[in-house]
């Protein structure tokens, strides 16, 4: 079992890989419904069933609340169950044939929730304001990060780093025509709990870890990702066009191996002294300020869930969950 984020809070706002990932599936359940209607609980119940049956699967977590699940991918069955509501709304491209929609709000009594309409509306507005401020701070973080990259580029031999990456890709994968399109996800996300990282994807793989500075690693990774065929590309949490890791055929190339760093094969790049450390520190400070805004948004979201729970009949929710499990497992 591996954990990823398919959506993230970035310098460009919320960025998602849901559409491209779901297009690969044969059987997709799209759950619609307000906060507190049991979507995450249902996803986790599917995960428990996968564990019981010994089926390999991925859990896709929420960058707005990393303790909440937004989706599950059951690899052997080519099936997925996802929260298809904002901020990652997903629509049915092949209704019934591939995607089926489940209405989680069917378990909610509108009359019981209606008295809280004004309070819920204000809480939704609080969330929007918090996210707007958070994204402004992440844009500022990007500006500092970009200035550090510029300082690195003036001092570094970029061509040499790219040449080393191409030599690595050729030696490790025997690629001759470049990489084919693979998968995309985040293993890290900027969340109300700070930057949360998962490293499950490195278990059982030969790990190559890049040493010598963050910007040098991203140049190396971007070049390698172009050449490694069919790899899974994991993206930078602040700047999703940057590559954080590449996975392929039992191997991983990464800028951060977490608990697997001690056993990793090291690839030495140019020293990190060529980066502008002050600008990187300012970037991290802006990310920290954004995290505080996301934490406030999470509190508002939790209060919305509490108000919605008043109108929920969770016996109906459990009936929906049983139906979804049948749609996945038969």
pLDDT at 174: 67
pLDDT at 286: 98
pLDDT at 2: 96
Determine how β-strand 184-185 pairs with β-strand 232-235: parallel
pLDDT at 274: 61
Q: Locate 129 and state its tokens.
A: 């304001």
pTM, two decimals, is: 0.94
Residue pair 306/30 in contact (Cβ under 8 Å)? The answer is no
pLDDT at 213: 83
DSSP state letters, 244-312: EEEEETTEEEES--GGGGGGSEEEE-S-GGGS-HHHHHHHHHHHHHHHHHHHHHHHHHHHHHHHHHTTB
Q: How far apart are CA 293 and CA 161, in angstroms?
A: 37
DSSP state of 236: P
- The angle, 0 to 180 degrees and rounded to 10, between the axes of the packed helices 39-53 and 314-329 is 40
pLDDT at 156: 85
**Range 180-210 burial, b when 16+ CB lie within 10 A, else e:** eeebbbbbbbbbbeeebbbbebbeebebbbb
Nearest to 17 by CA among 232, 258, 249: 232
Nearest to 12 by CA among 190, 153, 217: 190
Phi, psi of 232 (to 5 degrees): -90, 125
Which parts of the chain register pLDDT below 70?
A: 174-181, 271-275
Residues in the chain: 330
Q: How far apart are CA 58 and CA 237, in angstroms?
A: 19
Q: Locate 235 and state its tokens.
A: 């993206």
pLDDT at 178: 52
pLDDT at 173: 82
- CB-hemisphere CA count at 13 Å for 145? 21
pLDDT at 276: 73
């Amino acid at each position: 079992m591996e954990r990823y984020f398919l959506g993230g809070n970035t310098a460009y706002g919320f960025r998602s890989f849901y559409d491209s990932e779901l297009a690969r599936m044969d059987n997709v359940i799209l759950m619609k419904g307000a906060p507190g209607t049991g979507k995450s609980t249902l996803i986790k119940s599917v995960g428990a069933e996968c564990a019981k049956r010994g089926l390999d699967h991925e859990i896709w977590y929420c960058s707005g609340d990393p303790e909440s699940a937004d989706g599950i991918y059951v690899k052997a069955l080519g099936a997925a169950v996802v929260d298809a509501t904002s901020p990652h709304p997903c629509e049915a491209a092949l209704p019934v044939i591939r995607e089926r929609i489940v209405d989680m709000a069917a378990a909610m009594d509108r009359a019981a929730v209606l008295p809280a309409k004004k309070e819920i509306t204000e809480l939704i507005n609080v969330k929007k304001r918090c996210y707007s401020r958070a994204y402004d701070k992440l844009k500022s973080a990007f500006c500092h990060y970009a200035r550090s990259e510029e300082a690195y580029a003036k001092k570094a031999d970029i061509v040499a780093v790219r040449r080393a990456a191409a030599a690595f890709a050729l030696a490790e994968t025997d690629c001759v025509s470049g990489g084919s399109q693979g998968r995309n996800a985040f293993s890290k996300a900027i969340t109300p709990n700070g930057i949360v990282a998962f490293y499950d994807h490195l278990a059982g793989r030969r790990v190559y870890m890049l040493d010598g500075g963050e910007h040098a690693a991203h140049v190396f990774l971007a070049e390698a990702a172009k050449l490694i065929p069919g790899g899974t590309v994991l993206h930078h949490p602040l700047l999703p066009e940057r590559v954080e890791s590449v996975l392929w055929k039992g191997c991983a190339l990464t800028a951060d191996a977490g608990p697997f760093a001690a056993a990793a094969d090291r690839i030495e790049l140019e020293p990190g002294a060529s980066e502008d450390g002050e600008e990187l520190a300012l970037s991290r400070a802006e990310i920290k300020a954004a995290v505080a805004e996301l934490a406030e948004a999470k509190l508002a979201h939790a209060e919305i869930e509490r108000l919605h729970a008043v109108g929920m009949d969770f016996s109906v929710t459990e009936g929906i969950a049983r139906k979804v499990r049948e749609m996945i497992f038969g």
